[in-house]
Amino acid sequence: MIAAVCWVPKGVAKALPDETPRSREELDEALQQGLGEDPAEQSAENEESEDEDGMRVEGDDISTALAAARALKSSGAASAVSDGLAELNMDAYDDENEDIRVFGNGGVSAAYYQHGEKDPYLVDDDDEDEEEIEDKTIKPTDLLIVTAKTEDEVGILEVYIYEENDDNKYVHHEVLLSSIPFSLAWLDCNVNGGDKGNFLAVGTSEPEIEIWDLDLATEVKPVGVLNPDPSKKKKTKSKRKQKTAVLGLAWNYEYRNVLASGSADKAVRVWDVVAQKCEHTLKSHTAEVQSIAWNPKEPTALLSGSYDCSVVLTDMRTPAEAELRWTVSDDVECVAWNPHVSHSFSVGTEEGYVYGFDVRTATKEGPNASIFTLHAHQKATCAVSYNSAAQNLLATASLDKTVKLWDVTNDTPTLVATTSPEVGGIFSASFCKDSPFLMAIGGTTGELHVWNTLTDSNVANRFTSTNANQVAF
């Protein structure tokens, strides 16, 4: 599955991400972590079994670790390897085969070319190198999308290049994670205190948040780890209870060293990513915190949505004071601020509802009425996303396998378009800020879909350049 998708701002990535060679020990450790094993505990066992299982990582290719992890996690992996070796019949490798002529039969295949350029089978290594470099080069016009993917119980970050002009996408590189990923947030704040960079915060089934440098294509370890309790040793997957998963992440565009997280342990945390320290822990909810969002126009306003059927707004300038709280009919799956109107936000719930709220009508005494209530989907509404160019364009996505676009002018939602991409039940959908009418969508099949919403005539006719208002944040 793809649990989360994240657009990387155009132009921030290196044209050629660094590829630092990795030692056998580093790749072995990454592989073991990807399988949920403690490297220290497994070292002795690996020494005994590496010749037998044939799955130890060699060389400096991270794809080898990914392939090995997938193979070991797949059912019947051991028997598949055994069957493959039997088919190769390596015991008879040195036996002569009279039907094979090593030097050909004197025909064209045995021809000798005095000048190499005349040989049609001779490949220029320089040409191959140039093609490989071109494939790895990130062009200024390329858009990048990162997916939080789980395949055969292995957590992976897939970094896609999307070529908008050709409507073409492909995986540029992958990162093997030690745990199952649930949430993503891009940030430019360098955790090492240097200049701006290209980083990704990853929330997983563990309480720690990993920070990865997306400009390091072959990195096997995060460049930073945010741990809510550094005194406790990280648990392995076999001991994990899934009660501390980081389900939501949000980076603060104004205060660039600040990251917020929502967790299955019911807590909201605000982090300093440079100090790698939790600055605030909020206990505003009584159940899992599924979604979290900073207000793009009021950067100290933090919104959190929980399975306790509530949404809480906290002013981080005075976090100890009373918050504003809204209640809905069922578990909150997602929250999103309207980037055009600082006092408005939307909420998606488990029963397929979408609510709109206005902060100006809130009171501290109790629940507040929504400005609109919409039964948008037949199953859980897992994502809501506002378009940064078209002021009243709201997207909702659901486990019912559909994405719907709504015109919410005057707080009266009108259905504009519906699509059913072949990604199964949808967990994540998000508009791109650089190309606002593109939407990245991921779900239960593990496939990434990019929808150009302007190909729908209703969207193109209703949301034109005359009524679009580009918002940069």
Domain residue extents for the chain: 179-462
Distance CA 82, CA 306 (A): 48
| Predicted pLDDT at 218 | 77
Q: Is the dihedral of CA 391, 2, 34, 172 positive or negative?
A: negative
pLDDT, tens digit (0-9, with 9 covering 90-100), for 221-251: 899 999 988 766 555 444 444 578 999 999 9
Query: What is the structure's pLDDT at 369?
Result: 84
What predicted TM-score, i.e. pTM, was given to this entire model?
0.77
pLDDT average, residue stretch 179-188: 95
Question: Between 20 and 331, whose confidence is greater?
Answer: 331
SS3 419: strand
Q: Which CATH number fits domain 179-462: 3.30.70.20, 3.90.740.10, 3.40.50.970, 2.130.10.10?
A: 2.130.10.10
Calculate mean pLDDT across residues 312-319. Answer: 92
Q: ∠ at Cα 278 (274, 284), nearest 5°?
A: 140
- Asked if pLDDT for residue 393 goes beyond 70, the answer is yes
* pLDDT over 60 at 60, yes or no: no
Model pLDDT, residue 52: 40
Please name the amino acid found at residue 411. D
Between 108 and 427, where is the model more confident?
Answer: 427
Q: What is the DSSP secondary structure assignment for residue 216, as one 8-state letter?
A: B
The two three-digit tokens of residue 138, written as one number: 């990130």
Of 468, 324, 466, 338, nearest to 411 (Cα)?
Answer: 338
% of the chain with per-residue pLDDT over 70? 70
What six digits make up the tokens of 361?
């009508």
More confident residue, 18 or 158: 158
Q: For a pLDDT cut of 90, what percent of the chain falls above it?
A: 57
443, 2 contact by CB (below 8 A): yes
Lowest mean pLDDT, pick from 229-243, 373-387, 431-445: 229-243
Cα distance from N-terminal residue to C-terminal residue, the chain: 29
pLDDT > 50? residue 472: no
